[in-house]
Structure 1
Amino acid sequence: MKKTIKLLLASVLTFAATFAQAQTAEEIVNKYIEVTGGAAKWAELKSVKMTAKGKQGGMEFPITSLQKAPNLMKQSVSFQGKEITMSAFDGKETWKTNFMTMKAEKGEAEDSENAAKSMDFPDPFLDYKAKGYSIALEGEEKVEGTDCYKIKLTKKPIKVDGKEEEDFSFYFFDKENGVVIMNRSVMKKGPGKDQAIETLMSDYQEVNGLFFPFTVSQKMNGQVVFSMAMEKLEMNVAIDNKEFAFPID
């Protein structure tokens, strides 16, 4: 009888310890917001200007990224003395530079509609419930040797070739320090359609009370296809809305 009681007590203690260590999706996300600066500090962020060095296909090039609340975005590179807009959203329409003609061209109406739904400045997890998003803990997974919680973030449905599809991706939170170190999503359009793309984030640094990853790389089929090293990040800088507008010749 004493042996049975001891075994039962040991099982209860083990269960209690496991329960105490268990994390919910909401707790993981709340910790992430807190360790990167806190919800109040993130809410104060109205614009960001980032300059970086990018690498792709053996080439290195300067990158400039502009973001402004609530949903303005522009990312451009400098190549052979020319500024090339890789992607931009002016709040209503997407556009970019056509590499063949070197002229700006607008995106499809469907792309603009999707962008309006999914722009997440400054962070997709900030006030995610108010945005109509949901999160779910999908277990644990190692990311390049680091133990992580795997969170599925589901946004509002988007349209792909005229059909409505679920919009979701997976975020991997470092169990030790709580920050996101990878995002995994599936490409919906283009040459890489249906392929998984992994965006890895590291070298978190503090800028005016908020923490950002200063090194970002993207992988497809296990191979690095793009990497970026941040050189400077400026917060709450004045950015004219004209910067995001489609250029008129």
Structure 2
Amino acid sequence: MKHIFLLCALSLGFFMGNAQNKAVEDITADEIIATYLENIGGKDNWKALTAMRMEGKMAQMGMEFPGVVMQVPPNKQRIEVNIQGQQMIQAYDGETAWWINPFMGGADAQPMPAEMASEFTKEKFEDDFIDYAEKGHTVELLGEAEVDGVMTYEVKLTKKDGSEEFHYFDPEYMVPIMQKTILSEGQMKGQAVENYLSDYQEFEGLMIPTYIESKLGGATQFSMTVTKVELNPELDETLFAYPKGK
């Protein structure tokens, strides 16, 4: 899931066993990814997840509002936001990306605008770095890069479809503190979307960032502070299905 983050203190006790700070010439992209997956709870434990539900406070354009994010594999998701008493829903059922936006079109479900749908449907439940080679992705360590005063390892992920992402790993705890993509279409084509991740916390043995801030072209667009995480909740499939005919 994915959407800058002011860097908050990481949970030192969890990471201390794997803390390291190697020179870039002494480490490989595969070593970074292996340590990262171990530090966030282990690849097998993440692969065993059947669903995730997160609650939090979202902020945009000077407003703060409650929100819920629900996901099930391989790529179904639903986001509910309450804005001034009006509920906005964005969802993807694996085939159709749809939304209910009372501020644009009323209370009926509509197919999501093409540009938004294109980005929304790219999100996957499973971390792209898990078994990345089997998925047809490649990784490359580009070197070091500074992110908000922190020197990081910059790892380029090229997906099977040719799309590219840039991930910036804290060299001591080997978790990403920023992810960057370049928009490939729409009015904002060519601009960088930067998602900053911080305040990692442990939930049933898995480490999850609980503060997420997204910037577009260097300007903050959205942030979310996660207040509750449920792992493997029972989520009805109808939550994600496009309510045709309604």
Q: TM-score, normalised by structure 1?
A: 0.82
Q: Which amino acid aligns with 1:200?
A: Y
Give yes or no for the alignment of 1:105 onto 2:110.
Answer: yes
C-alpha distance after superposition, 1:113-154 (max 9, x if no partner): 8866x4421311111112111111111101111111111111
Tell which structure's C-alpha radius of gyration is larger: 1
Pick closer, same or farther for the CA change 1:59–1:201 going to 2, 3 Å: same
Give yes or no for the alignment of 1:63 onto 2:67.
Answer: yes
Q: 2:96 aligns with which of 93, 96, 116?
A: 93
Give yes or no for the alignment of 1:138 onto 2:112.
Answer: no
- 1:150-161 equivalences under 5 Å are 150-157=154-161
Do 1:48 and 1:234's aligned partners in 2 also have CA atoms closer than 8 Å? yes
| Matched residue SS, 1:232 | strand
Identity %: 38
Give the C-alpha shift of residue 81 in structure 1. Answer: 1.9
C-alpha distance after superposition, 1:6-37 (max 9, x if no partner): xxxxxxxxxxxx88961111110111000000
Q: Which amino acid aligns with 1:215?
A: Y
Q: Tell me how large the CA RMSD over aligned residues is.
A: 2.2
- 1:62-81 equivalences under 5 Å are 62-81=66-85
Give yes or no for the alignment of 1:177 onto 2:180.
Answer: no
Q: 1:223 aligns with which of 210, 219, 225?
A: 219
Structure 1 residue ranges without an equivalent (≥5): 1-17, 158-165
CA distance in 2, matches of 1:27, 1:226: 32
CA distance in 2, matches of 1:196, 1:112: 18
Match in the other structure for 2:132: 128
| Matched residue SS, 2:31 | helix
Give yes or no for the alignment of 1:44 onto 2:48.
Answer: yes
C-alpha distance after superposition, 1:153-199 (max 9, x if no partner): 11122xxxxxxxx3111001100100011001112333322211110
CA distance in 2, matches of 1:206, 1:47: 17
Give yes or no for the alignment of 1:241 onto 2:237.
Answer: yes
Aligned length: 222
Do 1:52 and 1:228's aligned partners in 2 also have CA atoms closer than 8 Å? yes
| Matched residue SS, 2:190 | coil
Do 2:177 and 2:196's aligned partners in 1 also have CA atoms closer than 8 Å? yes
| Matched residue SS, 1:126 | coil
Do 2:24 and 2:143's aligned partners in 1 also have CA atoms closer than 8 Å? no
CA distance in 1, matches of 2:115, 2:195: 24
Q: TM-score, normalised by structure 2?
A: 0.83
Structure with larger RCO (C-alpha < 8 A, sep 6+):
2
| Matched residue SS, 1:239 | coil
